[in-house]
Amino acid sequence: MPTGIALRDAREQLFAAAERVLLREGANALTSRAVTTEAGVAKGLLHRHFADFDDFLTRFVLDRIGRIEIQAAALRESAGTGRVVAHLTHALTELFGSIALRIVGLVISRDAVRTRLRALTGGGVPVLREATRMIASYLAAERELGRVAPDADIDTLAPTLIGAAHLLFADREGTAPTPADVEKVVTTVIADAVL
């Protein structure tokens, strides 16, 4: 086994392995041994770079939240183009069709990780909070462009869209909702807000 792996490379390798285990087997299967075995590294590598496994999981969640920030920027840039419903449908499908849904389950199931994340991020359920901000930011940009009603209650619409989409994706066993399923929810939630 090679030694001297740079910290960033080791982190990325371990995070990618954790994501694969989480997607394939769920939060209950996510152990330090499962991650290091999946990554093909010695167990000590994880413990060399993180205080403990909960620290690793906390950093993993924070890393994956960074992906939502990238998605949020792209969604904001799309404001003023195409259909609002189509942009929201795509964003929600991409968000909950990815690792995000599994991360929510991980955060909910691990008290120590949830506590550490609250201390670092200010409370709430990470991923859902960032996703809500993403949708609110996009809706605000569309409102500024006159494509969303000036009196639209974005602070209510954004969490409603996130909650409805989360339930839609979480309620499925084995098969993800179709884009048409997601679009129906989006259309219903924002029907009175889109001009």
CA–CA gap between residue 11 and residue 63 (Å, rounded): 10
Residue 113, judged by CB atoms within 10 A of its CB (0-12, 13-18, 19+), counts as buried
Residue ranges of the alpha helices (H) in 2-98? 7-25, 32-39, 43-49, 53-77, 84-96
Mean pLDDT over all residues of the chain? 91
Question: For the residues 52-57, what does the mean pLDDT come to?
Answer: 96
Say which residue, 138 or 100, is predicted with more confidence.
Answer: 138
CA–CA gap between residue 25 and residue 18 (Å, rounded): 10
Closest to 55 in 3D by CA, of 9, 11, 5, 99:
11
Q: What is the pLDDT of residues 74-115, one digit of tens each?
A: 999 999 999 999 999 999 999 987 788 899 889 989 999 999
Q: What is the pLDDT of residue 173?
A: 64
Task: Give the CATH number of domain 1-49.
Answer: 1.10.10.60
Question: Is pLDDT above 60 for 172?
Answer: no
Closest to 165 in 3D by CA, of 155, 109, 157:
157
CA–CA gap between residue 89 and residue 50 (Å, rounded): 37
Question: What stretch(es) of the chain map to CATH 1.10.10.60?
Answer: 1-49
Question: Is pLDDT above 70 for 149?
Answer: yes
Question: Is pLDDT above 90 for 184?
Answer: yes
CA–CA gap between residue 18 and residue 57 (Å, rounded): 9
pTM of the model: 0.85
Q: What is the pLDDT of residues 114-124, one digit of tens each?
A: 999 989 988 77
Topology adopted by domain 64-190: Tetracycline Repressor; domain 2 (1.10.357)
CA 94 to mean position of chain CA atoms: 9
Residue with token string 């940009």 = 141
The residue type found at 121 is T
Question: What stretch(es) of the chain map to CATH 1.10.357?
Answer: 64-190
Q: What is the pLDDT of residues 12-52, one digit of tens each?
A: 999 999 999 999 998 999 999 999 999 999 989 999 999 99
